[in-house]
Amino acid sequence: MSTAVGVLILDEPQDLSAQVRATLEHMPEFHTIGETDLAEAGSGNAVALVFIDEIRLADAVARLVELKERQPSLRVLVSFNALTADDIRALLSAGADAFVARPKSPRELGAALLALAEGSDCLVPAERPGPTASEIGDGLGLTPREAEVLRFLSSGFSNKEVARRLALSVRTVETHRLNLRRKTQTGRLKDLVSLARQLGLAPVVDGEPVGRGGEDRSGNGRPSRH
């Protein structure tokens, strides 16, 4: 990116405020801006980092709606501790573009912001692992195993392939899939892919190690996609 991206930071926790701002300011890709600077910076070269206080979620939703009304093309990254599926849907409707679970280091937040500014589908740099299953489970109410199953399903794996790769029975995978449908209120592949991307779950790639106790007998590790 040829010019520094303006970063509007909203509602940052007091224990992170100075550290986040200082780190972003020292990264040549960014400069922090205030709301009064947003119009001048242009939303095409700016992103917003919004820290969500789950106790005051309604205020956060209203703030996002107002922000997007003023700058419709501004891309928004939400940092959260714990959100339900309903919370995430409300924030998406209000204008959130992507989510990262806390805690994240300032540099990890910077990498996610840069990916968002560049229009990347995945906020996780290739050289870094994605968020752990436990981080995602904390946010959406998923168990670590459900989050891992979501990764595989959103990558196009069938129930049978997920079972083989994670060393589970097909019936167990079907149970996890039913739980995912209940907690996310969707079973469509398109929605699962979108949710996995918004939560920063790295897609499963060929050759990724199988689950504990599992054995990849396919020879090439390719999933069957249905």
Res. 183: pLDDT tops 50 = yes
- The average confidence (pLDDT) of the chain is 75
At residue 224, the pLDDT reads 41
Res. 123: pLDDT tops 60 = no
Res. 178: pLDDT tops 70 = yes
Torsion-angle region of 218 (φ positive above 0: left; ψ -120 to 50: alpha; else: beta): alpha
At residue 125, the pLDDT reads 43
Are 206 and 134 found together in one domain? yes
pLDDT > 90 fraction of the chain, expressed in percent and rounded: 8
Q: Is residue 52 part of a domain?
A: yes
Are 112 and 138 found together in one domain? no
Domain CATH code at residue 87: 3.40.50.2300
Domain CATH code at residue 137: 1.10.10.10
Output the DSSP codes for 70-137: H-TT-EEEEEES---HHHHHHHHHHT--EEEESP--HHHHHHHHHHHHTT-S--S-TTS----HHHHH
Binned at pLDDT 50, 70 and 90, residue 212 comes out as: very low
Choose the most confident range, by mean pLDDT, from 42-51, 58-67, 79-88, 129-138.
Answer: 58-67
Higher-confidence position of 49 and 184:
49
Are 103 and 135 found together in one domain? no
| Residue 87, amino acid | D
Higher-confidence position of 213 and 154:
154
Among residues 165, 166, 164, 162, the alpha carbon closest in space to that of 177 is found at 162
Q: Is residue 159 part of a domain?
A: yes
Are 60 and 83 found together in one domain? yes
Please give the average per-residue pLDDT across 206-212, as a whole number. 53
Provide the domain count of the chain. 2
Phi–psi pair at 7, nearest 5 degrees = -115, 120
Q: Is residue 92 part of a domain?
A: yes
Res. 221: pLDDT tops 70 = no
Helix axes 170-184, 144-154, angle to 10 degrees: 90
Res. 16: pLDDT tops 70 = no
At residue 149, the pLDDT reads 86
Res. 171: pLDDT tops 90 = yes
Which DSSP helix (H) or strand (E) runs through 47? strand 46-51
Please give the average per-residue pLDDT across 90-98, as a whole number. 89
Each residue of 21-64: pLDDT tens digit? 777 778 888 888 888 777 665 556 788 888 888 888 899 899 89
Among residues 122, 120, 97, the alpha carbon closest in space to that of 196 is found at 122
Residue 29 · residue 4 · CB < 8 Å: yes
Q: Is residue 143 part of a domain?
A: yes
Residue numbers of the domain that contains 86: 5-117
At residue 128, the pLDDT reads 42
Residue 45 · residue 86 · CB < 8 Å: no
Please give the average per-residue pLDDT across 66-85, as a whole number. 85
| Residue 138, amino acid | D
Higher-confidence position of 214 and 136:
136
Are 17 and 113 found together in one domain? yes
Q: Is residue 122 part of a domain?
A: no
